[in-house]
Structure 1
Amino acid sequence: MTSLSPQSPVSGVSRIRVGSAPDSWGVWFPDDPAQVPWQRFLDEVAQSGYEWIELGPYGYLPTDPVLLTEETSKRGLKVSAGTVFTGLHHGEAVWEKTWAHVADNAVLAQAMGAKHLVVIPSFWRDDKSGEVLEPDTLTPEQWRNLTSLTERLGKEVRERYGLQIVVHPHADTHIDSEENVVRFLDGTDSDLVSLCLDTGHYAYCGGDSVKLIETYGERIGYLHLKQVDPEILADVRANQVPFGPAVARGVMCEPPTGVPALGPVLEAAQKLDVDLFAIVEQDMYPCEPDAPLPIAQRTRAFLRSCGA
């Protein structure tokens, strides 16, 4: 595994803007009867004390920026980012289809005043069924496709929409472990590609978020705050449980009951001397409709106790 060596300390203090996302309300899909209506999500995220949200799956929230601006503004909410899914390791053959998906999301994110687009790599096994879709490791050619096309995506998204892409390491994708995250960072231009560090996914895949922030701090453009239950995770790993079923088992848990400890993560992020969004994402699909609100309220109070 590639080792991480600490970078020089950086003076100054970051400004952390805390928010939440549809994911914390059990929302994984644009339309699903198991999910709460978008109006209820907006009501409850505001009630929980958050000011910032992500757009979630494209089509879950209204895609008309006039309507969405009206609905968010009257609740005191602002949008930090949109989210897109990509399979750029497949090469030029997927570029046009990928760009069409990205453009829809980028147009809405830009219209809502967001500055970021969270980019999630495609899964190598289906997150619902667990069906293996392709090998879990990339060939050298696929790595070249992934890095070069991600740079192209970063350049074009910035030039056309004024947004910064932040690539999200994710369980059951090819950017997951410390080894693969470091390989991806070392293979991409820091001016074009930043990272959305999801503390839960990185722990799920064996990584140390504080270590990554201290080593690659200049590449951390965005945070997702999340924890994993170590006991459930141990069983998930031992039995090679796919991510979707693992979430249904509760592998992503309410802070501060899991790992990593979020206080040290936020402390490390504060030392970067940059503005950062830290968006809470507790994967809970599927979940009872009354479950998210009290969890969100307790999580917001906990983060305040950590100084965020």
Structure 2
Amino acid sequence: MAKIKLGIAPIAWTNDDMPELGSENTFEQCVSEMALAGFTGCEVGNKYPADTAVLKKALELRGMEIASRWFSSYLLTKPYEEVEAEFRPFCQYLKEMGASFCNVAEQGNSIQGKLDKAVFADKPCNTEKQWQLLCEGLNRLGRVAKEEYGLTMTYHHHMGTGVQTEAEIDRLMANTDPEYVWLLYDTGHLACSGEDYLGILKKYLPRIRHIHLKDIRMDVRNKVMDENMSFLAGVRNGLFTVPGDGCIDFEPIFDIIGNSDFEGWYIVEAEQDPAKANPLEYAIKARSYIREKAHI
């Protein structure tokens, strides 16, 4: 476990997809409470300073560092050259912050941000042409990230996208270059989708380079499915929570990873309405649970 660092995502303080959730919470409050709860790293949120010198100073004061950042790719709907042009300053920012990872998720046909689309019933499926565009584009972006910026690019499977299920993850992994495209393993999205998250972990552990620890409330998940709710409506209703507060048993996950060669970050990520789930309280709850169950 000495090879594993522990961080937390700012989305619990202010939601990137619904900025009105937590709009009152400042960047300074967010990173201060992360450190107070016992975390040493984080991902980049929408309130983080664009000036890396300003961000570095704020994090160093709190003993924090940047682990990674989300990048929305539009390889299915934009020319590759346009996506790469947006990707380069994103990578430069992370390089300046001393990060080692960047997380990519294809949004060209995603419904995760659409309130009028049911996250289960309206889930997109990639066509043959889309799979080709996606995999070829990811190989090219991954090469840029590694060879020009020294970053490991991981792909974030996600609810409401064309890479959500085990079969879709299998296809992505089989058709991308393992030298340039790695996997971000997200417990909550796999459990929510109904996938075998332990089996996927065992299958792809050598290719997993970043881990999101997210729990789910199964009763809310079933409500989202039964009532054809959108992804964002599910979030508002408490679909996700921190490890130790939902239905996932993380001990087998920690055991498998702890007995492997994995080296990198555990990132607690649980998008909730901060008015209902106090971010500091839930961050402390997650930190205590991980200390008890993962011994870090």
Same fold per superposition (TM over 0.5): yes
Task: Give the equivalent residue in structure 2 for 1:47.
Answer: 36
Aligned 1:12-161 pairs, distance under 5 A: 15-28=3-16, 32=20, 34-35=22-23, 36-57=25-46, 60-90=47-77, 93-122=78-107, 124-131=110-117, 136-161=124-149
1:196 aligns with 2:208: no
Alignment gaps of 5+ in structure 1: 1-12
1:231 aligns with 2:219: yes
1:268 aligns with 2:274: no
In structure 1, what is the Cα distance between the partners aligned to 2:19 and 2:227? 31
Q: Are the counterparts in 2 of residues 126 and 132 from structure 1 also a CA contact under 8 Å?
A: no
Q: Are the counterparts in 1 of residues 118 and 229 from structure 2 also a CA contact under 8 Å?
A: no
In structure 1, what is the Cα distance between the partners aligned to 2:112 and 2:290? 32
Counterpart of 2:76 in 1: which secondary structure? helix
Counterpart of 2:69 in 1: which secondary structure? strand
TM-superposed deviation, 1:131: 4.4
Alignment gaps of 5+ in structure 2: none
TM-superposed deviation, 1:273: 0.9
**Which has the larger displacement, 243-252 or 94-103?**
94-103
What percentage of residue pairs aligned between the two structures are identical?
A: 25
Counterpart amino acid of residue 49 in structure 1: G
- What is the CA RMSD across the aligned residues, in angstroms? 2.2
Aligned residues: 291
TM-superposed deviation, 1:126: 5.0
Change (3 A) 1:265 1:54: same
Counterpart of 2:84 in 1: which secondary structure? helix
TM-superposed deviation, 1:41: 0.5
Q: Are the counterparts in 1 of residues 21 and 274 from structure 2 also a CA contact under 8 Å?
A: no
TM-superposed deviation, 1:276: 2.2
TM-superposed deviation, 1:104: 2.5
In structure 2, what is the Cα distance between the partners aligned to 1:33 and 1:241? 18
In structure 1, what is the Cα distance between the partners aligned to 2:14 and 2:247? 20
In structure 1, what is the Cα distance between the partners aligned to 2:277 and 2:153? 33
Counterpart of 2:89 in 1: which secondary structure? helix
Q: RCO higher in 1 or 2 (8 Å CA, sep ≥ 6)?
A: 1
In structure 1, what is the Cα distance between the partners aligned to 2:10 and 2:70? 11
TM-superposed deviation, 1:29: 5.1
TM-superposed deviation, 1:73: 0.2
